[in-house]
Structure formats: C-alpha cells, structure tokens
C-alpha cells in the first residue's frame, strides 16, 4: 500500500540478542505492517458508507482521503523528531496508542453524527500510522545483516499487502453488511481495532527488542541543493501522482461497482471485490520482482503505466464485467511503481540521498489531493468518466520512466 515505504532516521543494531530474539522481533514488526495495511484499506469501505450515511457528494466523500493522507505530509517530519527523542521501541508504542485513539474517536463521531469529527478521527488515526511507519521501516532494515535488509523489508511489505487484501472483505461484512443504516455501524469494528492496537502497544512496551541507535552519516548532514537534480524532482511528482492514482481508484470502486451499467452490486459484494484490486498488487509484486531481473526497470515501469492506462480506457468505454475486471486489473500494474520510481528518483544522489528520500516521501500527499480532484470530476460528469483523472497520472508516470528519470547535464556535472 501506498505510504508503507516511508523512511525514517538511519539506524543500526547495537545489541545482538541472538537469532531467535531477532526472529521474534521481526515477526512482531511484521504484524505492524499488516495492521496499518488493514486499517488504511478500510477507507475504501468507509467512504461509500459515510457517503450514504451523511448524504455526501463525491467531492465531500473524498475528504476522507484528504485528511488521511494529508496527515502523512504534515506529521512525517515531526514523527522523525519524536523518534529521535524517545527511541524506536517507544515510538512504536506511541504510534500504536495514537492510532488506537483515532479509532476510538469513531465512536463519538457516529454517536453525534458529525462528519467533521469523522474527518478529524481519520487525521489522528493516520498520524499514528505515520509514526509507526517512520519507526518500523528502518527498524526492520536494522534487524540483521545489511545485505539482507532489502529482503526483510520486502517480506514485511508482503504482510502489508496481505492486510490490504483481507481488509476489504472483513470491512464489507462488518460495516457495509451491518443492519443499521447510519454511521453507528462503524463503532463496533473500530472499537475492536482500538482494543487490538492497545493490546499491541502493551506487548511492544513489555517485549525485549534489539537496541538500535542512530548513526551519524555524511548523508544525514550533507549539504547541497536537491532541486538541481531533475530526475529527483520529477520523481517526487511521479510518486505524488502514483499514490494519488492508486488511492483514487480504490476509493471509488464500491460506488463504481454499484452502478447499474457496471455490476449493479450490493454494497457488501462490491466491498469484497475491492480485495481483488489490492490482492492483484500483491501478486504483481511477486511477478515484478522476477521480471525486473530480466527487463530494465525503466522499461518495466513504462510498460506497467501503459497497461494501467489501457485498462482504465477499457473500463470507461465499456460496461458490465469487462468494465469491472479491467479497472481491478490496474491494481496488478500498480504493484512495482512505488519502489521503482523511488529508486530512479534517488539514483546517483550520493550524500544527498537522505534529503532526496525525504522529498520523494512527501509526495505521498498525492493520496490526499488526487481522489479529491476525481471526486469533483465525478460530481460533474459521472463516476465512470472520472477514472480518466487517475489515467492521466499514469501518462506522466510512463513519461517519467522513459524520459524524466534520465539525469540532466546539470546532474552529471554535480556528480562529477
């Protein structure tokens, strides 16, 4: 899921507790990746539910993603400072508790039936997840040999993908399948999630984890102008559009499949279909990791962007099962985009890599803005044609893969 690749301060293990202890720590951290994938994808289920409950138009409903992903942009810098002060393990505990508090806020939001309070709850919940991500990604990387760090992160990301795959199925049954027709149906599920998060915080407070310390590197203190690097700046925009496009499509699927000319599905059935979108991304990661050992990353990224565009064009120009399955197929082609764009963007930055990584990760705020734009278009011309908005995102990504990611003469001069 978008956002699960946030980076934090650089760390290294200063205490080796043994293989079994490290394995236990890794399993515990992997559970976090599952948790925030599961919680994040529930937005796709809640958006249509809140839209009906509060009689919202599409623009108003997309404020859910605006508040949720806006928290990434606002909170990320502060999250890094928080972890600098309290440490990684305590940062995880605080992140879990903050996320739990956001879940608890759904109860008064539903009882008072105030949409604005729901939006605040989404912001608080996402703030906690942001802290978790800033802490967990570098922690997992430091749990063992540097040579196997990428492998550990990929395995943890697989748990995140599992969470995004099962989340829509469970959410559809518990929320969209609820007998009540008002927003109170979210109270029970989110109270249960809050209880699980509090329990997880207690576990992380008590368990013994390898001690990590910050590493002072030339990267962290490097001076230089990252804006001179064309491929980096254009890459940050590509991340903005990728996350925005991926989130926007997922946000509209339930309402899209409920349309009479698409699938005429009930809310529950449509919600369960969202799992195919995120599950396709999980499969695509496995296929992509194998294919990219034989195909250049720029060409594979461009091919995926092109095929995503084709699938969207097929969906907006057809109806029935063809329209439904073609838009779900976009999830498969989304799979390798974030890590590939990220790698291309920071390539050759040298001592500026940390600063460049921070700029690229700020692009996650696209998940807040692109769905909102699609909401405006959906209110104007209809939900089916509104998918042309994320299609334009993939046009740019394809261009970036083939041309925008190339180093400019200025960058070459800087590297020399």
Q: Is residue 416 part of a domain?
A: no
DSSP symbol at 37: H
262-287 pLDDT tens trace: 999 998 899 999 999 999 998 998 88
* Whether residues 117 and 44 fall in one domain: yes
Q: Provide the strand spans (E) within 192-240.
A: 212-214
Please state which of the ranges 82-86, 263-267, 400-404 shows the lowest mean pLDDT.
82-86
Mean pLDDT of 79-102: 89
The two three-digit tokens of residue 208, written as one number: 């013994």
- Residue 98: per-residue pLDDT: 97
Asked which of 215, 239, 271 is the last residue of a domain, the reply is 215
Kindly report the CATH number assigned to the domain that includes residue 10.
1.20.1250.20
Q: Give the percent of the chain with pLDDT over 70.
A: 84
Checking if the pLDDT of 220 tops 60, the result is no
Q: Are residues 209 and 229 in the same domain?
A: no
pTM of the full predicted structure?
0.85
**Does 264 share its domain with 374?**
yes
pLDDT bracket for residue 82 (50, 70, 90): confident
Mark whether 241 and 154 lie in a shared domain.
Answer: no
Evaluate whether residue 383 is within a structural domain: yes
Q: What's the rounded Cα separation, in Å, for the pair 405 and 356?
A: 14
Identify the band that residue 154 occupies on the pLDDT scale cut at 50, 70 and 90. low
Model confidence at 45: pLDDT above 80? yes
- Spatial distance between the Cα atoms of 96 and 104, rounded to a whole number of angstroms: 12
Long-range contacts (CB closer than 8 Å, 24 or more residues apart) made by 195-200: 195/100, 196/35, 197/35, 197/96, 197/97, 197/99, 197/100, 197/103, 198/96, 198/97, 198/100, 200/31, 200/32, 200/35, 200/96
According to the model, what pLDDT value does residue 151 have? Answer: 61
Do residue 190 and residue 228 come from a single domain? no
Whether the pLDDT of residue 216 is over 60: the answer is no
Instruction: Report the C-alpha gap between 267 and 176 in whole angstroms.
Output: 6
Structural domain contains residue 413: no
Beta bridge partners of 396: none
- State mean pLDDT over 396-416: 75
Chain segment 372-395, per-residue pLDDT in tens:
999 999 999 999 999 999 999 999
Residue 414 domain-assigned (yes or no): no
Does one domain contain both 104 and 205?
yes
Least confident among 121-125, 155-159, 218-222, 355-359: 218-222
Give mean pLDDT, residues 234-242: 95
What is the distance between the alpha carbons of residues 64 and 81, in angstroms, rounded to a whole number?
27
Structure-token pair, residue 135: 């802490």
pLDDT in tens, 389-401: 999 999 999 999 9
- Verify that 5 and 154 share a domain, yes or no: yes
Greater confidence, 255 or 79?
Answer: 255
Rg, the chain, Cα only: 21
Q: Does residue 415 sit within a domain?
A: no
Amino acid 411: pLDDT: 53
Distance of CA 372 to CAs 59, 70, 231, 247, 327, Å?
6, 12, 27, 10, 19
Domain that holds residue 20: 1-215
Residues 204 and 309 in one domain: no
Rounded mean pLDDT, 117-125: 97
Q: What is the pLDDT of residue 181?
A: 55
Phi, psi of 11 (to 5 degrees): -140, 165
Q: Look at residue 307 in the predicted model and tell me its pLDDT.
A: 98
Same domain, 98 and 29: yes
Residue 399 lies in a domain: yes
pLDDT band at 81 (very low <50, low <70, confident <90, very high): confident
Query: Quick one: which of 174, 168, 29 has its CA closest to 93?
Result: 29
Q: Are residues 130 and 229 in the same domain?
A: no
Q: Are residues 316 and 209 in the same domain?
A: no
Among 169, 186, 215, give the residue marking a domain's end.
Answer: 215
Contact 49, 177 (CB under 8 A): no
Q: What is the mean pLDDT of residues 327-353?
A: 87
Q: Which residues are within 8 A (CB) of 181 and not within 5 positions of it... i.e. 6 or more apart?
A: 52, 53
Split into its structural domains, the chain has a count of: 2
Cβ-contact 117, 62 below 8 angstroms:
no
Task: Indicate the helix (H) or strand (E) that contains 335.
Answer: none
Is pLDDT above 80 for 72? yes
Highest mean pLDDT of the ranges 54-63, 142-151, 356-365: 54-63
221 or 252, higher pLDDT: 252
The alpha-helical segments, DSSP class H, found in 143-179 are 149-171
Distance of CA 352 to the CA centre of its chain: 25
State the burial class of residue 342 (Cβ atoms within 10 Å of its Cβ: 0-12, 13-18, 19+): buried
Separation in Å, CA 247 to CA 40, 50, 197, 349, 389: 10, 17, 24, 29, 12
Q: Is the pLDDT of residue 320 over 50?
A: yes
Residue 102 lies in a domain: yes
Same domain, 116 and 242: no
Q: Which of 215, 233, 251 is the C-terminal boundary of a domain? A: 215
Q: Give domain status of residue 308, yes or no.
A: yes
């Amino acid at each position: 899921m978008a956002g699960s690749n946030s980076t934090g301060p650089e760390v290294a293990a200063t205490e080796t507790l043994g293989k079994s202890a490290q394995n236990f720590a890794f399993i515990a951290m992997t559970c976090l990746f599952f948790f925030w994938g599961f919680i994040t994808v529930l937005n796709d289920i809640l958006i249509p539910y809140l839209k009906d409950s509060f009689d919202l138009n599409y623009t108003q409903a997309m404020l859910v993603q605006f508040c949720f992903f806006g928290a990434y942009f606002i909170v990320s810098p502060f999250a890094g400072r928080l972890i600098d002060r309290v440490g990684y393990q305590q940062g995880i505990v605080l992140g879990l508790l903050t996320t739990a508090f956001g879940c608890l806020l759904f109860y008064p939001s539903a009882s008072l039936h105030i949409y604005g309070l729901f939006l605040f709850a989404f912001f608080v919940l996402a703030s906690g997840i942001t802290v978790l991500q800033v802490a967990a990604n570098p922690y997992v990387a430091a749990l063992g040999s540097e040579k196997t760090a990428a492998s550990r992160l990929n395995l943890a990301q697989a748990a995140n993908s599992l969470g995004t795959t099962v989340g829509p199925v469970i959410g559809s049954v518990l929320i969209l399948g609820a007998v009540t027709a008002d927003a109170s149906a979210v109270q029970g599920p989110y109270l249960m999630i809050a209880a699980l998060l509090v329990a997880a915080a207690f576990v992380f407070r008590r368990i013994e984890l390898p001690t990590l310390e910050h590493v002072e590197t030339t990267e962290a203190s490097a001076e230089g102008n990252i804006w001179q690097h064309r491929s980096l700046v254009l890459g940050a925009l590509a991340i903005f559009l990728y996350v925005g496009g991926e989130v926007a499509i997922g946000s509209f699927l339930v309402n899209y499949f409920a349309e009479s000319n698409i699938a005429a599905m009930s809310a529950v059935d449509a919600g369960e279909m969202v799992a195919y979108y995120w599950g396709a991304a999980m499969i695509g990661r496995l296929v992509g990791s194998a294919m990219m050992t034989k195909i250049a990353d720029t060409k594979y990224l461009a091919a995926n962007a092109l095929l995503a565009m084709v699938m969207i064009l097929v969906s907006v120009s057809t109806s029935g099962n063809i329209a439904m399955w073609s838009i779900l197929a976009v999830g498969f082609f989304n799979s390798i985009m974030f890590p590939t764009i990220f790698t291309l963007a920071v390539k050759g930055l040298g001592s500026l890599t940390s600063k460049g990584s921070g700029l690229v990760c700020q692009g996650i705020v696209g998940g807040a803005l692109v769905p909102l734009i699609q909401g405006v278009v959906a209110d104007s011309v209809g939900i089916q044609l509104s998918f042309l908005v994320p299609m334009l995102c993939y046009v740019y990504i394809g261009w970036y893969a083939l041309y925008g990611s190339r180093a400019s003469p200025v960058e070459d001069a800087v590297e020399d």
